[in-house]
Amino acid sequence: MARIVIAGAGAIGCFVGGLLAASGAPVSLWGRARILDPIRRDGLRLSDFGGLDLSVGEEWLQLSEDAAVLSDAAVVLVCVKSAATESIAAEIAARAPEAAPVISLQNGIDNADRLRRLLPGRDVRAGMVPFNVVPRGPAHWHRATSGDIVLEAGPGDLAARLSVPGLTLRGSRDIAAVQWGKLLLNLTNALNALSGLTLRDQLLDRDWRRLIADQMAEALAVLRAAGIRVAPPTPAPARLLPHLLRLPTPLFTRIAAQMLTIDPAARTSMAYDLEAGRGTEIDQLQGAIVALVARGGPPAPICAAVAERLQRAVAEGQRRPHLGPDQIRP
């Protein structure tokens, strides 16, 4: 397999890149020293809720804080936060071979389109990562939920080429619907950050599930009015998810067992970003729904209230607010 460059070696980038390297692929992790230095010292450790526990030695990886690593790329996996999309695109344009496909493994809807505008003539693909990766130590990344990465279909079978043990990719000819489906589920990220709870504890609390369901229902109404198709990475269709979440807890736990296939300590990436004092991707999640409302869609007061409350927590330096559902509802 030709060299794969991970542009933005954070949680997803290290986990995906580490599994690719463990399979024998030449992988370069391009990121910040605070992420890469512990890997240089201790090696990269990958684990998951299903029992994976893998050590990837530093000798298996090229580690660099220098964008010059892009010059050898045969594939570039973009794993940065949405706010860094433009700056990453500029480096790719200047350094990466034009023949190298560029795959966005980012949250949000428009990152691949932004990359295409900035990288005209290149093979740019959108992707959707369904699972959650959380830190367990300076060089230890843990996959806390399940699912296969979905990759926009295009020339060559990139999904098959990048699938390795422990990491499956599949192609889709309707990646926009897949991305909107992931965004629908990711609306929970901000609620999890504001709650201070683990994802599992939050989903086992019916009051929280009602708020999650009500937010999801209003987002679905906005998307339906905009003519946007939604394909979430769940066995149940999108329209049934709010009803499922509102069920009494004993019934919910029986019917939604797959939704509860979560590491007991898992929280969302936004919860970790808030706790670390980093910027969040609220503008790409609730903000995307609010933007559709501004273009004439039906109201979405819960999405707007969640976005406002999360932004206030960031501004006030609240690292783990521990709010309840009634403190968030408009």
What pLDDT is recorded for position 1?
61
pTM: 0.92
159 three-class SS: helix
Q: Which tokens hold the place of 26? A: 């030449």
pLDDT, mean of residues 280-299:
96
What pLDDT is recorded for position 190?
97
Domains of the chain, first to last: 4-173 (3.40.50.720), 179-327 (1.10.1040.10)
For all residues of the chain together, what is the average pLDDT? 94
The single-letter DSSP state of residue 281 is -
Q: Enumerate the β-bridge partners of residue 169.
A: 149
pLDDT, mean of residues 183-210:
96
What pLDDT is recorded for position 58?
83
Residue 303 CB burial class (10 angstroms; 0-12, 13-18, ≥19): buried
User: What does the pLDDT look like over 243-288, one tens digit per residue?
Assistant: 999 999 999 998 887 666 788 888 999 999 999 998 899 999 999 9
What pLDDT is recorded for position 76?
98
Q: Please, are residues 105 and 147 in contact by the beta-carbon 8 Å criterion?
A: no
pLDDT, mean of residues 316-321:
92
Residue type, 241: L
User: What does the pLDDT look like over 110-155, one tens digit per residue?
Assistant: 999 999 999 999 999 999 999 999 999 999 999 998 899 999 999 8
Q: Please, are residues 75 and 98 in contact by the beta-carbon 8 Å criterion?
A: no
User: What does the pLDDT look like over 159-195, one tens digit per residue?
Assistant: 999 999 999 999 999 999 999 999 999 999 999 999 9
Cα separation, 237 vs 58, in Å, equals 42
Sign of the dihedral through C-alpha 326, 209, 253, 266: negative
DSSP secondary structure of 209-240: HHHHHHHHHHHHHHHHHTT-----SSSS-GGG
